Amino acid sequence: MKIKFWGTRGSIPVPGKHTIDYGGNTPCVEFTSESNKTIILDGGSGLRECGNHLIFNNIKPPYNVFLSHYHWDHIQGIPFFAPLYINDSEINFYGFSINEMSIHNFLSHQMTWHNFPIELDRVKAKIKFIDILPEKEYLIDDIKLEVLLSNHSSPTLSYKIKNGDTCIVYMTDNELDVSFDSDEELFNNKEIFLNNNKKLVEFCKGCDYLIHDSMYNAELYLQKKGWGHSSNSALAMFGILAEVKNLVLYHYNPDDKDKNIDEMFSNTKEIIKLNNSEMNCIASKDGLEIII
């Protein structure tokens, strides 16, 4: 299996001299199975480059795009997804309905005539919109997906992706439930933290890779508590308790420069070591490929 990160930044694209190492595109990750089938998770600005890559490398449709939720940073690349504008291209968008708004409604809204020159229903590709439900399973060729609702300001889905013997969890825009104001308190109250996050821990239990929101450090988290994102320290503890093999930091704060992410990455590895865990930690970046 292969994981390719096309966008790893939260909230808004941030190109510039301070984000050269990690990149500035918003969330988009491509997963390629053992039988060479592809699924795409989230349609942030990274989806533009992903679409160009699919066409350039002659990867055949249908293209299956699963969305975690409809916040702008997770759908803003969709109007620039080149396969939309190719005859005979087929795209399946998967997401869920909220308060009688379907995925079709949500995606059409960002491409109405006053927002974008081409309306979504007028593009050349054949598009299907598939409403999915939390706690159900879906099968795309040899890739099995399980879905769970996570903890965010808008209803958001996490995905467990299984292919062959590999299990990867994609859990972005998720606020781990932390009842403590310092890392020290958190590390001394693992049982309470485990109980507060029981359902999510069970979903991630023993997975090979956990790709998870790591928007804040512990200090910033205190100012942003309740905003629907996690700190790197809570995430490290969560990964340890869920017995994750590889923890992947993802969905970075747009204000973080490369050096801030380097520091957060080192700090996460320190926390893992201090807690006597063997879990590996990876800092995702735009363009990173992980071959499993």
Shortest reach from residue 74's CB to Zn ion, in Å: 6
Choose between 240 and 248: whose C-beta lies nearer to Zn ion. 248
- CB contact at 8 A, 107 and 143: no
Residue count of the chain: 292
Choose between 148 and 240: whose C-beta lies nearer to Zn ion. 148
Q: Applying CB under 5 A, does 51 fall inside the site for Zn ion?
A: no
Give every strand in the sheet of 90-95, ordered side by side.
Answer: 126-131, 90-95, 63-66, 38-41, 28-32, 2-7, 289-291
What residues does 260 pair with on adjacent strands? none
User: Which one of the spans 3-11, 88-96, 138-146, 270-278 is the region binding Zn ion (CB under 5 A)?
Assistant: 3-11
Shortest reach from residue 172's CB to Zn ion, in Å: 6
Q: Applying CB under 5 A, does 183 fall inside the site for Zn ion?
A: no
Rounded Cα distance between 67 and 130, Å, is 11
Residues 61-100 that bind Zn ion (CB under 5 A): 71, 73
Q: Applying CB under 5 A, does 10 fall inside the site for Zn ion?
A: yes
Rounded Cα distance between 164 and 168, Å, is 11
Residues 253-272 that bind Zn ion (CB under 5 A): none
> Between 142 and 181, how does the x/- string for binding to Zn ion read (CB under 5 A)?
-------------------------------x--------
Shortest reach from residue 152's CB to Zn ion, in Å: 6
Shortest reach from residue 26's CB to Zn ion, in Å: 7
Indicate left, alpha or beta for 262 from its phi (over 0: left) and psi (-120 to 50: alpha): alpha
Choose between 10 and 51: whose C-beta lies nearer to Zn ion. 10
Choose between 71 and 160: whose C-beta lies nearer to Zn ion. 71
Shortest reach from residue 91's CB to Zn ion, in Å: 22
Rounded Cα distance between 232 and 234, Å, is 6
Choose between 73 and 183: whose C-beta lies nearer to Zn ion. 73
Question: What is the rounded (10 degree) CA torsion for 156, 244, 186, 254?
Answer: -50
Element (H, E) at 55: helix 46-56
User: Which one of the spans 7-15, 183-191, 194-202, 282-290 is the region binding Zn ion (CB under 5 A)?
Assistant: 7-15
- CB contact at 8 A, 284 and 172: no
The size of the interface with Zn ion (CB under 5 A), counted in residues, is 4
Rg for the chain, CA atoms, rounded:
18
Residue with nearest beta carbon to Zn ion: 71
Strands (DSSP E) found in 67-133 = 90-95, 126-131
Q: Which parts of this chain interact with Zn ion (CB under 5 A)? A: 10, 71, 73, 173
